[in-house]
Structure 1
């Protein structure tokens, strides 16, 4: 989920992209993995991988199609120092290391102005990536109803292109896992248990719940905790329902 990354006992970290400068320890001290307890996801065409490249370095995140040219992802994936001055491309498919699938250029990224990188618990870790050309993929709906504590215990499915040492910072394989909502705060969703949650490279990926019979994005993978030796132990998502004003302006743009 994450995110971001793995490393000091009980540390809170950006779920993120797996960039070395995001890690409390060096890359060789971490043993990142993709979705914990997940399996390869050959469906969900609306879930894409983002590759953020600057110079000789690349990192990855996950994103979801919410309009023909708009992807929903995490703010920490595209803030200054991640995508500024570099290039961002989106991969649609299952395995970014294979010859199957489609790459589309991203021409703009924007993140929720209420996002505070120094306070992940405040939520709003939400961003959009604007594609160079529309994709013929059915967009995923995103939740508009306030999430409440009565959703705790309900099923949720997490999807991401979690990284591993074989493809660190380059690509990923789409995985998913079914689990439950364990916590709802005014800004965040705590999802999964120790054996079922997100990890490195899953940042920005969707948490899907059934809303009126339709799989709907309720959260965007944001950050998580780790325990020595470099094991992802949980995952937290930013609630999308508190960022509707930001998201809607891009989805509704002419």
Structure 2
């Protein structure tokens, strides 16, 4: 995993939402292809791409960039890195794509996320493990975890890494895999080197897989690595078995549910206390005058207005179930017209860019702490 990948995608995601031209953005020359030395991988269907879902009508899900990689380990539980789930608001705007190429995924292969959990002791360089909880069962079978102690001959063995990260042309969304060699292990992590492959940018959260007694098991989660994508550090799954067991058992016992979205409801007048109180695709946000209400995830507090085919001034045209409606601030009277075409309003762009800025700043701070940890270890 190349750390700059996740930061780059966060910024480009918001910037793209404010640019109707949708022109492709080339990655810096320093960005290497995902799973360097690997190859396209049609197998491992449980390994999915974690992508943002745009709230704006007319922005196809197929164009969403890959933020991280994850592995389905229970019907509704996707294992990934903690730094992919760090922001508590992020899961409300995410989907996991279970297809070998995200741009060609069917609707049934895209599953919305309703919640996220990180290890309670997570910090940069330690316990970098978390999960995303899906709104419904995934369309593929889970992959088994190796929760027993690692084999005595683990160092020196070959592991397989899988991910959807940036390729050499700055594109994401193709599942790739390759083999790496284990070089060292400690209480919570293990290190790998290219043999000849290595995970890179966008592969964060992806699995390291080991063949044990003719069964392929997930033994690690891609956490961080060097900028040249020649070495990497993985979080050990067996060392965090209690955390994973607890989340998987809770999700199996009480699968998360969300109320049905009804665009006719005046969301500004219906209070909420947590994201779970809101319909799928919405989040519990603070209103300008105080109090909290459900809003389209990624946007500020507001209500659904008239049907639309494009933005109307500062009112973005947002997805509302099977329809598109204008999104209006709570301090504005219900109603409003509809204008076809045009760019998303300034309010939408400001909101998305603010969210990206916040996530980017947190990730940058996390990366700095991680590099300090690595320097101290040396």
Relative to 1, partners in 2 of residues 1:28 and 1:178: Cα closer, same or farther, differing over 3 Å? closer
As a proportion of its length, which structure holds more strand?
1
Larger relative contact order (CA 8 Å, sep ≥ 6): 1
Q: Say if 2:96 is the partner of 1:90.
A: yes
- Aligned equivalent of 1:232: 229
* Contact 1:108–1:131 under 8 Å retained in 2: yes
SS in 2 for 1:235: strand
- Aligned equivalent of 2:167: 164
1:66 Cα offset (Å):
0.5
Q: State how many pairs are aligned.
A: 228
1:99 Cα offset (Å):
4.7
1:1-254 matched pairs, under 5 angstroms: 2-5=1-4, 16=6, 18-19=8-9, 28=28, 30-52=30-52, 59-80=66-87, 83=90, 87-100=93-106, 102-117=109-124, 120=125, 122=126, 124-147=127-150, 150-164=153-167, 166=169, 171-193=172-194, 195-226=196-227, 231-253=228-250, 254=253
**Partners of 1:91 and 1:210 in 2: CA distance:** 25
User: In terms of Rg, which structure is larger?
Assistant: 2
**Unmatched segments (≥5 aa) in structure 2:** 12-26, 57-63, 254-378
Relative to 1, partners in 2 of residues 1:91 and 1:75: Cα closer, same or farther, differing over 3 Å? same
TM-score between the two structures when normalised by the length of structure 1: 0.80
**Unmatched segments (≥5 aa) in structure 1:** 7-15, 22-26
* Contact 2:66–2:173 under 8 Å retained in 1: no
SS in 1 for 2:101: coil
- Aligned equivalent of 2:366: none
1:81 Cα offset (Å):
7.4
**Partners of 1:134 and 1:182 in 2: CA distance:** 36
**Partners of 1:166 and 1:100 in 2: CA distance:** 24
1:150 Cα offset (Å):
2.7
* Contact 1:49–1:92 under 8 Å retained in 2: yes
Render the CA deviation track for 1:81-137: whole Å, top value 9, x for unaligned: 7716x50101011111225571110110111111103xx1x3x11111111110242
As a proportion of its length, which structure holds more helix?
2
The two structures, once aligned, show a CA RMSD in angstroms of 2.6
* Contact 1:5–1:199 under 8 Å retained in 2: no
